[in-house]
Copies of this chain bind each other. A is one copy, B any other.
Amino acid sequence: MEETLEHFYNPDGIAVVGASQNPSKAGYQVVRNLTQRDYHGAVYPVNPGADNIDGLKCYPSLSSIENHVSLVLITTPAAQVVGIMQEAADRGDVKAVVVLSAGFSETKVPENAAMEKKLLEIARGAKIRVLGPNCTGVIDTATGLDTTIEPTVAQNRGGISVFSQSGALGASILCFMDDQPTPLGFNKWTHSGNTCDIDVLDALNYYGNDPSTKNILIYSEAINKGREFIEAAQRISPQKAILVLKVGRTELGIKAAYSHTGSLAGVDQVYEAAFRKVGALRMAGLEDMIDTAKALEMQPLPKGNRICILTEAGGPGSMAMDEIGAFPMIKLAEISAAGQQRLKEVVPPISLICQPMGYIDITAAAMEEHHTEALKCVLAEDGVDGVILLSVPPTFLSPESLARSLALAARDSKKPVLTCLLAGKWVREARKILEEARLPTFDTADRAARTMINLVKRQQYLSSLGGEVRI
């Protein structure tokens, strides 16, 4: 069996079996995404009833394509898929097949499940790897390849690669990433659907070896090859953060996952222990996942667990402190006596400096320079490993101008700065400015705090390994 998934992301010739001229068909959408976006490789539509589709010569059958084909996308009705797989096997050059067609084991109808088993048998015999059935395949922002039927996926480039067992949730992840104040890019995206062959373990291994993947997001309902997953994660985790959104925390979640993909979500404590062992970060939800991915993409990790909360407002400050306080592994930063003196000189006189230690409230009297000077001051402190900066920009401040100044103040910092400007649409442009300067912004103070907790968890995992690791 072909071990690498390379041909899914970087194929040498793509055939689309079931290509269509009808815009309401998946076979049309797939060809359109391959031809009208950024992909520049060879594409061969297959449809016995058409001469050409979207300007491309159309072939009557897969076997009639005279050029090299390493990836086949199948969008035909389910009943035809086994035959097409046999054609692919017979060609000899096909290494990878994405079965977009639905109507297999997910229907829980025995005959349909048998077809899925059959197509996998043929593929295995020919050393072909299969993604699906009932999946939308892959997107690769490096090559511009997009096998999905989604017309709306923005191909913003970034370092995060995504694997999702659920197509809808996988699509939502991309929508949410694109819908940040500044679109959060991604590297590769893979949806495995029924997961007859390629699964979360394959994707993890591939992403782990892929030089352009910096961090890995996984949505999974079950991880069947537990031991192998743990071994792979242990190997990859020192280099790349693995963020896991795994349902099945409760009995009902387990039942829903089984209903969805037939996954046996399993005992949650076992997963929890395994994730902790391998340093994978378990995400509380979609928002936690995107927040954490954004911070990892934009900022360095803290070098330790000493976090400074610098706030312009006591309410949001208290909410961030409440979150941090629930994780004894996090310490509030130590600000030196000299640092406190310096702070006193640069913030409004009524500010509350280090009450308690590591917590600084510059109050609503804070102007732009109070925010920025205080930030520079705490970033310069040896006892500070990371900063959560919170502000409900006071009436007299321009949020955009504040954002520009904060971006300057944090520039070149080797310590993570996570920001929350808390004023809905009045800070939308300011958040964009911050994120364009690679300072991640969060919707609420508690989400900024939870994200910092995730960064510290990652740092502590890396520290626990000792030796040379990426920070």
* Chain A residues at the B interface, C-beta cutoff of 8 Å: 24, 29, 102-103, 106-108, 149-152, 164-172, 175-176, 178-179, 219, 221, 247-253, 255-261, 285-287, 309, 312-326, 332, 350, 352, 355-356, 359, 361, 364-365, 392, 395-396, 422-426, 443-447
Copies in the complex: 2
Contact between chains at A352 and B179 (CB < 8 Å)? no
Contact status A352-B322, CB under 8 Å: no
On whether the beta carbons of A286 and B359 are closer than 8 Å, the reply is: no
Cα distance A318–B268 in the bound complex, in angstroms: 14
Given that A422-B168, A422-B175 are known contacts, is A361 also in contact with B287, CB under 8 Å in the complex? no
Q: A24-B396, A251-B325, A325-B252 are in contact. Are A286 and B168 (CB under 8 A)?
A: no
Contacts of A314 in B (CB 8 A): 166, 168, 221, 256-257, 259-261
Given A219-B315, A252-B322, A286-B319, are A260 and B361 also a contact pair (CB < 8 Å)? yes
Kindly list 5 other residue pairs between chains A and B, CB separation below 8 angstroms, not including A24-B396, A250-B326: A172-B316, A172-B423, A250-B324, A252-B321, A260-B317
Complex contacts, A352 vs chain B, CB 8 Å: 108, 259-260
Most B CB contacts (10 A, CB to CB) among A152, A248, A253 go to: A253
Are B172 and A256 in contact, CB atoms less than 8 angstroms apart?
no
B423 touches A250 (CB 8 A): no
Given contacts A253-B319, A321-B250, A321-B255, contact A395 B165 (CB under 8 A): no
Q: A325, B249: Cβ atoms under 8 Å?
A: yes
Cβ-defined contact, B259 with A178, below 8 A? no
Known: A175-B423, A252-B321, A326-B250. A315 touches B395 (CB 8 A): no
For residue A33, give the distance in angstroms from its CB to the closest CB of chain B.
11
Across-interface contacts of A356 in B (CB, < 8 A): 252, 255-256, 259
User: Which residues of chain B come closer than 8 Å to A315, judged between CB atoms?
Assistant: 164-170, 172, 219, 221, 247, 260
Closest B-chain residue to A106, C-beta based? B350
Enumerate the 9 nearest inter-chain pairs by beta-carbon distance, A residue then B residue, closest first: A250-B325, A166-B315, A260-B314, A169-B315, A168-B313, A252-B325, A253-B322, A179-B424, A175-B424
**Central interface residue in A165, A171, A287, by most chain B CB within 10 Å:** A171
28 A–B pairs (Cβ distance < 8 Å), ordered by A: A102-B365, A107-B350, A108-B352, A166-B315, A166-B318, A168-B312, A168-B313, A169-B319, A175-B422, A176-B424, A179-B425, A247-B322, A248-B322, A249-B326, A250-B321, A250-B323, A250-B325, A250-B326, A251-B325, A256-B317, A256-B359, A257-B314, A259-B352, A260-B314, A285-B319, A285-B444, A286-B422, A286-B444
A360 to B340, CA, bound (A): 58
**A445–B29 CA distance with the chains assembled, in angstroms:** 28
Does B425 contact A178, Cβ atoms closer than 8 Å?
yes
What CA separation (Å) do A396 and B27 show in the bound complex?
13
A26 to B: closest C-beta gap in Å = 8
**B149 contacts A318, C-beta separation under 8 Å:** no
Residues of chain B within 8 A of A24, CB atoms compared: 396
Question: Is the CB–CB distance between A322 and B444 below 8 Å?
Answer: no
Q: Which residues of B contact A312 (CB under 8 A)?
A: 168
In the docked arrangement, what's the CA distance between A250 and B424, Å?
A: 27
> Residue of B at shortest CB range from A166?
B315
Is there an interface contact between A422 and B392, defined as CB atoms closer than 8 Å? no
**Whole-angstrom CA separation of A454 from B171 in the bound complex:** 28
By a CB distance below 8 angstroms, the chain B residues around A258 are 355
* Chain B proximity of A145: nearest CB distance (Å): 18
- A171 touches which one: B169, B179, B256, B392 (CB < 8 A)? B392
Is the beta-carbon distance between A359 and B255 smaller than 8 angstroms? yes
| A426 with B318: CB separation less than 8 A | no
- Find A318's partner among B171, B256, B324 (CB 8 Å cutoff): B256
